[in-house]
Structure 1
Amino acid sequence: MRLRRPRRPREFRPADSAQQIVGGFLLAGPFVVTEEVWDLAGNMSVLQALATIAVVSAIGYGALYTADTTRDPDAEQEVAGVPIRFISLLCVAFGSVLILALLFDAPDTFLDGTTTAERALTTFKAVSVGSVFSIVGAATADSVFSK
């Protein structure tokens, strides 16, 4: 007899994104306004930022579908084979960090004296760093509040 993972009956809803947003913003805030994050991002290579994005994606997928055994990615709505819940989670994780960085004017504050291109690149890298924490909050809120 083969054990099957129990499936959640409801589909992904806008309320699920709202829960992710709350968790994502909650954990993103402290890292957006920390000078050390911006210094770290300034010293990272693009390859390291891309690797960080891969780690963020793995954390998010693991939190949604491995840590929460009641979810089945094959049973969820998909876009191009990717579950919508996971796409939403990534958008929230990266988007919340970027929005807060821009709202708080962090690039201008921490990157004074740099060119526009340098600010954009460092902001990209800082968002990759901040999203490590944001995705944990977003995935946790999604899992906890969707039950």
Structure 2
Amino acid sequence: MKLRRPRRPRDYRFADSAQQLVGGFLLAGPFVVTEEVWTLARNMHDLQALVTVAIVFAIGYAALYKADTTRDADDEQEVAGIPIRFISLMIVTFGSVTTLALLFSAPATFLEDVETTRELARISFKAICVGAVFSVVGAATADSIFSK
């Protein structure tokens, strides 16, 4: 019987987040400035937004660890049992959509008739969730392509 040394977790580098940022911003942009996304967000229920968040997490995890057969979540550095690469992916995904929405003044443009700050925030969150579905694909793809 041959003994194996425990595998050392793969180091996570700043370059990995930079790659995710490129992909995340690339695919987030068109959806942040699309009126249809903001109309969808107005009509979404809170539960639909939460399910959308779960879908974003599932797409991100699948893209990083299931579609890429060379990468294993157990071989990555972790925080509280969650791979740092996955945490970074979620921050980049939601962060890039949020940043562009605020930078382009999308909530003020598409929700100018909304009267309360709370409602403005709720609808904006839902629009960010919709945009995140596409941003996560770009961020995870860029991470997988450039980290080889």
Q: TM-score range by the shorter chain?
A: over 0.9
Please list the CA deviations of residues 40-60 of structure 1 after superposition, one character each: whole Å capped at 9, or x if unmatched: 001001110000000000000
Q: Please name the residue that 2:50 is paired with.
A: 50
Q: SS of the residue aligned with 2:67?
A: coil
Cα root mean square deviation, aligned: 1.4
AA partner of residue 23 (structure 1):
G
Q: Please name the residue that 1:70 is paired with.
A: 70
AA partner of residue 99 (structure 1):
T
Q: Mark the runs of 5 or more structure 2 residues left unpaired by the alignment.
A: 1-6
How far apart are residue 9 of structure 1 and its match?
8.0
Write the distance in 1 (CA, Å) between the matches of 2:105 and 2:51. Answer: 26
For residues 121-136 of structure 1, what are the structure 2 equivalents within 5 Å?
A: 121-136=122-137
Q: SS of the residue aligned with 1:69?
A: coil
Q: Mark the runs of 5 or more structure 1 residues left unpaired by the alignment.
A: 1-6
Please list the CA deviations of residues 47-105 of structure 1 after superposition, one character each: whole Å capped at 9, or x if unmatched: 10000000000000000000000001011000110000000000000000000000000
AA partner of residue 118 (structure 1):
E
Q: State whether residues 25 and 135 of structure 2, in contact with CA within 8 Å, keep that contact through their aligned partners in structure 1.
A: yes
Write the distance in 2 (CA, Å) between the matches of 1:13 and 1:46. Answer: 36
Write the distance in 1 (CA, Å) between the matches of 2:101 and 2:8. Answer: 35
Q: Name whichever of 7-16 and 106-115 sits farther off.
A: 7-16
Q: State whether residues 8 and 70 of structure 1, in contact with CA within 8 Å, keep that contact through their aligned partners in structure 2.
A: no
Q: Does 1:84 align with 2:84?
A: yes
Q: State whether residues 92 and 139 of structure 2, in contact with CA within 8 Å, keep that contact through their aligned partners in structure 1.
A: yes
How far apart are residue 11 of structure 1 and its match?
1.4
Write the distance in 2 (CA, Å) between the matches of 1:8 and 1:77. Answer: 9
Write the distance in 1 (CA, Å) between the matches of 2:60 and 2:42. Answer: 25
Shift >4 Å, 4+ stretches: 7-10
Greater C-alpha Rg: 2
AA partner of residue 14 (structure 1):
F
Identity across aligned pairs (percent)?
A: 74
